[in-house]
């Protein structure tokens, strides 16, 4: 019997693109972009849909990664 196939790792989401900022953006720019996008994508504003929830989850993940210096350094090294 052949060995089981391994799946390729899922590509990392581009957190900078999700927030619409450059990789050299400051923490203030990241925070400002997150807040602006979160206001527009919030399910309370656009309706409780799977797409809205997914968009907000992507924004939250991107922001939580990029606002933490250590997490951002690890993320940048993996890009």
Tens of pLDDT along 24-59? Answer: 999 999 999 999 999 998 877 878 888 888 999 999
Whether this prediction's pTM lies above 0.85 is answered by no
Round to whole Å and give the CA distance between 66 and 21. 11
The answer to whether the beta carbons of residues 15 and 57 sit under 8 Å apart is no
The mean pLDDT value for 5-32 works out to 86
The answer to whether the beta carbons of residues 17 and 66 sit under 8 Å apart is no
The per-residue pLDDT for 7 is 59
At 26 the three-state DSSP class reads coil
**Could you tell me the domains of the chain?**
15-78 (1.10.287.110)
């Amino acid at each position: 019997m052949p060995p089981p196939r391994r799946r390729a790792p899922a590509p990392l989401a581009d957190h900078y693109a999700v927030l619409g900022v450059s990789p050299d953006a400051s923490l203030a720019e990241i925070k400002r972009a997150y807040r602006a996008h979160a206001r527009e994508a919030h399910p309370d504003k656009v309706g409780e849909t799977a797409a809205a929830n997914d968009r907000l989850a992507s924004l939250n993940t991107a922001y939580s990664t990029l606002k933490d210096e250590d997490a951002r350094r690890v993320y940048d090294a993996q890009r």
